[in-house]
Structure 1
């Protein structure tokens, strides 16, 4: 059974599972679950509290894209899903490079191939304080040629029938049956998020751009505030009937490499960063 590396500061506690995709097993404040708690003995990153999206976020359609004059093919890494999803960091073993009482650093080094042709180094710095958790995610190009680069975080927040979300964005992207973006619609299509809204009895699996980088979740368990730096968009994932909500800060929209959406390019030695702050 995996035992999470434990961090603590004031009323906050967190548990980390670096070998299971660099995931967070739990985050609590005064014993209340702020992130979904992973079950004992968890062996699937999709059952944890949060995992990193690196070196790209969300979907790449059919695992194919064109970059710098070449066509690249990636393995389809999500069961029978037709696209490559979430990068490779969540399916890799990270190393716990530094662990203090309230902070830690998890590293991942990728030599190239095996899901992503460019070598890179990824780092997660996690720090608890009396007010919450800060996660700083970095991606560095360790190769000798430019590479496309994306980052994101995939936190699962507890949700019940009373939960409401408040955030501001300019537009929402509708997707096809496999959730590849097809067109923009009003950001409030599923609810007036600016004023705070609950969740309809239908799947929400959509990206919003023009996001301010701030969101508030208000439910029976209390209020959770989310702030992000380096996120061009936010992806909401709220399946009907499930006791969780994902508010995912991401540096690019789904399938950006095929659709011409903004995405970063890292020259050799360059680094991309994204930070998420969770407070109450």
Structure 2
């Protein structure tokens, strides 16, 4: 396991027996999108045009991803994290935000990363350090290597359809609208998937013909965001606490009172069928 606290508190690589469980970052990579995984805090995915209302006030976040029209993935992935503790099989990273135009509410975020046998567990906690109520969202953005032999399986209640270039949720559709993942389908494909699956049961499985299986589980995640570029050698399975642009939706974002915390945990485990 290799970490990059100075590059968004990201994971650079995770290997078991010399085999990559996550897509490894290139040597000396600085781009967060080149990492093996990174945390999403204090919100996940997109805030439409960076604009929203909360607590009777209007806010406009700056663009944080080139010419992309929306604010994306929060602040953690673009910030330096401090190492609070480190050992051979675990580390604790911290990221404190004092409040700014990029996110008005101060918070403290902590990642606990731990290797356990053939597994990896990361817990992400955010504490509201503001003097008033603050919105909160959490997630993880891991990249999984895939091939034509890779199959993906998970259960969800529905799929939020979206269209380029905005990729903002438009309408709720049956979960099998882009493939019947409930019974397992080819992970690699020729079309772009950049969609949020609502009512995810917290488990996703990537398997291949070599009887190798990676099982992702999450607690604190309401949905799974799947990002798969066409004909790419990877896909992202992102456990998140909310759908894209939820802060502008009727249900709104989760809220924390001063001093309250919210946690999301992701575990990935390898198993091999010996039969």
Superposition TM-score, scaled by structure 1 size = 0.93
Residue 192 (structure 1) aligns with: 180
Asked if 1 retains the 8 angstrom alpha-carbon contact of 2:65 and 2:72, the reply is yes
Q: 1:181 aligns with which of 126, 144, 169?
A: 169
Q: 1:102 aligns with which of 78, 81, 89?
A: 89
- The count of aligned residue pairs is 267
Q: 1:234 aligns with which of 207, 217, 224?
A: 224
d(CA) in 1 for partners of 2:101, 2:31:
19
**Residue 259 (structure 2) pairs with residue 269 (structure 1):** yes
Helix, strand or coil at the partner of 2:33: helix
**Residue 28 (structure 2) pairs with residue 41 (structure 1):** yes
Structure whose residues are more often strand by fraction: 1
Helix, strand or coil at the partner of 1:35: coil
d(CA) in 2 for partners of 1:171, 1:27:
31
Helix, strand or coil at the partner of 1:206: strand
Q: Deviations over 1:29-60 (max 9, x none)?
A: 11110011001111111001000000000000
Change (3 A) 1:41 1:114: farther
After the TM superposition, list the runs of 4 or more consecutive aligned residues in structure 1 that deviate by more than 6 angstroms. none
Shift of 1:219: 2.9
Shift of 1:80: 1.1
Shift of 1:68: 0.6
Segments of 5+ residues of structure 2 without an aligned counterpart are 271-275
Asked if 2 retains the 8 angstrom alpha-carbon contact of 1:158 and 1:244, the reply is yes
Segments of 5+ residues of structure 1 without an aligned counterpart are 1-13
Q: 1:206 aligns with which of 185, 188, 195?
A: 195
d(CA) in 2 for partners of 1:229, 1:64:
29
Residue 7 (structure 1) aligns with: none
Helix, strand or coil at the partner of 1:194: coil
**Residue 162 (structure 2) pairs with residue 172 (structure 1):** no
Helix, strand or coil at the partner of 1:90: helix
Helix, strand or coil at the partner of 1:193: coil
Shift of 1:114: 4.4
1:48-67 equivalent positions in 2, closer than 5 A: 48-67=35-54
Q: Deviations over 1:112-137 (max 9, x none)?
A: 00410110000000111113011000
Asked if 2 retains the 8 angstrom alpha-carbon contact of 1:160 and 1:220, the reply is no
Asked if 1 retains the 8 angstrom alpha-carbon contact of 2:16 and 2:118, the reply is no
**Residue 210 (structure 2) pairs with residue 223 (structure 1):** no
d(CA) in 2 for partners of 1:223, 1:80:
38
